[in-house]
Structure 1
Amino acid sequence: MEKQQIDYSLIELVIAQDRKAQFQLFEMTKRMVYSLAFRILNDEDTAHDVLQDTYVKVFQEIRNLKHPEALISWMKTIAARKAVERAKRQFEFEELSAVDERVEDHFEAWFDAELLDQAIRSLPPSSRTVFMLVAVEGYPHQEAARMLGISENTSKSQLNYARKLLKTRIKTLLQA
């Protein structure tokens, strides 16, 4: 999201269904919402659909928001849930036996955001979604597992698997 602040007066106008305020909120937050949806789905068209669905829900439900300072987190949660709903048929979660194996977090090579983004997009849908929800968005495994309809251990094993794949793919991309 851009560095612009979303102030309480804008939120009040959005609650009052002011179209200009709704458009302003959309313009300020659309990149954040789209980016989250795209990174979960890895499909531009579906991410655009989730973007639209997210704002429909935001504008319908914003009057129920009890803590306006939580607007961004609330919007991201809506977007993540909408993206997961759209992508559930892509997921094929398998119990991975390597739950206890830990991935070394130290990485000795330099790489840029584009390389990391490319590696994340190449992950299998189930692992990519868990990685985005837990490692990037900060959801606890328990919440991610509930959203995805899987066990907490499956969430943990998928995250571990995603990290292993990312490390391998980044090394491969760096050598290319």
Structure 2
Amino acid sequence: MGILIQLFLIFLKIGAFSFGGGYAMLPLIEREIVNNKSWINYQEFSDIIGISQMTPGPIAINSATFVGYKVAGFWGSFAATLGVVSFSFLLVSIANHYILKFKESKALGAALMGMRPALIGLIISAFLSLAKGAYKDFKSVFIGIIIMGALLSKKIHPILVIVIAAVLGIILY
């Protein structure tokens, strides 16, 4: 099977089975792209996540685009991005037609309530996986603590957080 078809199908699967947004997709992307296919290594995956967070747009789409480009150039980024958005596009198009019926559905409400804890688990899993590679020494832990403290104590814009972290990185490293 060609690399473009593989990229499309893998990201279609990731898009279809990841509920809760881009951060919930990160463990699946890591498993498929880093562990199963070995298309990129863990350091490259961490870099792609960092770049995806700094660029405009959803992290899942940005990650798919960057991974696809790394693996197979422009057409790889096109195939991966198309794959990750296709299921959601189809689902939203269908759901839009029936949205009024689903709005009051107790079964749908119960299903969504059951998925929320799973979403948090996926996000924590992504955090722990990324933390293993990011926190390599005392300086990186220090930057993480400073940023977390700033985020929890004040409403700081994410761009400012990235700039502060970059400045701390320049100073400490």
Q: Quickly name the TM-score band, shorter chain normalised.
A: under 0.3
TM (norm. structure 2) is 0.28
Q: Which has the higher contact order (CA 8 A, sep 6+)?
A: 2
TM (norm. structure 1) is 0.27
